[in-house]
Structure 1
Amino acid sequence: MSDLIAIIYPSEAKAEEVRQRLFKLQKEYLITISDAVIAVKTEAGPVKLNQFVNTTAVGAVSGSFWGLLIGVLFLNPILGVALGAASGALGGALSDYGIDDAFMKDLSTSLQPGNAALFVLVKNMTADKVLREIQDAGGTVLKTSLDDTKEQKLRDALAKASAEQPPPQTNAA
């Protein structure tokens, strides 16, 4: 079973930094990620999702391959590739992989403009080592499906890091 973790960061850059740290930890076999999406609330108001997997592109590549194969069988590979890519892209655009887009957009409506939420679907992890690697980035827990004890550890570690960060400097005129 997978666990969902959603953490709010002050900027998209900070959320992307943490996502890249998690990918690095995945290469070290400390975490297995099914999906990692950054939701950003724009100044205009709508929520933009920065997906880990572009299902439209994956569908187009897959469709091109199958279209070419079928096109070769029917002696028209160019038409087969074109039709396969188009149908694959359409199928990819209509499919949803990992965390439900509507769910993420609904949760992200409470964000302040410019803030970003990192949604991670975790299959398994070595919690203490992963937490140690991401806690200095700070953040605020938006939602998790972790048990109460693990969620509280996450909240405490992120709150401690946020408290240790110096307040922003202002220039006195």
Structure 2
Amino acid sequence: MAELVVVGFHNPTDADRVLTELTRLQKEYLIELEDAVVAIRSQDGTVRIKQSVNLVSLGATTGGLRGALWGSLIGLLFLNPLAGFAIGGAVGVGSGALSGSMIDYGINDGFIRSIGETLKPETSALFLLIRKSQPEKVLAELAGFKGHVIRSSLSPEQEAKLQAALTRAHSPSPSEGVEAVGTMAAQPT
């Protein structure tokens, strides 16, 4: 079963940076993500959502391959497999792209928008649907990022460990002349 984790960050770029790092960790088999989405609230209050999986292109690709395969097989019946390949591929690409644009895969877009609306301007949030992970190694790799857990389906102990790791990140001391950043508004879990 996948675990949902939503982490808020105090600037609009950290969620993207953490997702890039998690993608690297996924290539090293330290974490397996089912879905990941970045929500960024701009200065004017609009929420921009960046999906990690482009369903339109994924649907077009798989639809094109399936259409070409079936078109070739049907084309063999009419002694013209190349025409069947071309026509089947074109129909598959179109239908796959259309179905990809209509599917909501992974994390619900309405949920993402509702949490995104609670963010302060010039902040971001990272929504993760995690299949498997090696928590100790992943948390060690993400030690440089400061954020806070907004929502999660983790156990209380796991959520506390994640929050502790996000809090331990380097935070500027008042002697460095940087104002402390306020916390983002979040709905209770």
Range class of TM-score, shorter chain? 0.7 to 0.9
How far apart are 1:114 and its partner, in Å? 2.2
Rg larger in 1 or in 2? 2
Change (3 A) 1:95 1:169: same
How far apart are 1:70 and its partner, in Å? 4.0
Contact conserved, 1:12 with 1:38, CA < 8 A, in 2?
A: no
5+ long unaligned stretches in structure 1 = none
How far apart are 1:82 and its partner, in Å? 3.0
Deviations 1:113-166 (A, max 9, x none): 22110111111211111111112211121111111111112112212225x334
How far apart are 1:101 and its partner, in Å? 1.2
Counterpart amino acid of residue 54 in structure 2: N
**Bigger Cα displacement from structure 2, 71-80 vs 57-66:** 71-80
Identical columns (%): 37
How far apart are 1:31 and its partner, in Å? 1.4
Deviations 1:51-109 (A, max 9, x none): 11100111111222233334443554444333322211110011122111111111111
Provide the residue aligned with 1:57 in structure 2.
Answer: 57
- What is the aligned counterpart of 2:128 among 96, 114, 120? 120
Provide the residue aligned with 2:93 in structure 1.
Answer: 85
5+ long unaligned stretches in structure 2 = 179-189
Contact conserved, 2:67 with 2:90, CA < 8 A, in 1?
A: yes
Contact conserved, 1:38 with 1:50, CA < 8 A, in 2?
A: yes
Which secondary structure does the structure 2 equivalent of 1:58 belong to?
A: helix
How many residues are aligned here? 169
Provide the residue aligned with 1:165 in structure 2.
Answer: 172
Task: Give runs of aligned pairs for residues 137-148 of structure 1, distance below 5 A.
Answer: 137-148=145-156
Task: Give runs of aligned pairs for residues 31-46 of structure 1, distance below 5 A.
Answer: 31-46=31-46
Q: TM-score normalised to the size of structure 2?
A: 0.79
Find out whether 1:132 has 2:170 as its counterpart. no
**Bigger Cα displacement from structure 2, 98-107 vs 24-33:** 24-33
How far apart are 1:20 and its partner, in Å? 1.5
Find out whether 1:108 has 2:95 as its counterpart. no
Contact conserved, 1:47 with 1:105, CA < 8 A, in 2?
A: yes
How far apart are 1:37 and its partner, in Å? 0.9
Provide the residue aligned with 2:4 in structure 1.
Answer: 4
Which secondary structure does the structure 2 equivalent of 1:29 belong to?
A: coil
Counterpart amino acid of residue 11 in structure 2: S
Change (3 A) 1:13 1:78: same
Find out whether 1:95 has 2:107 as its counterpart. no
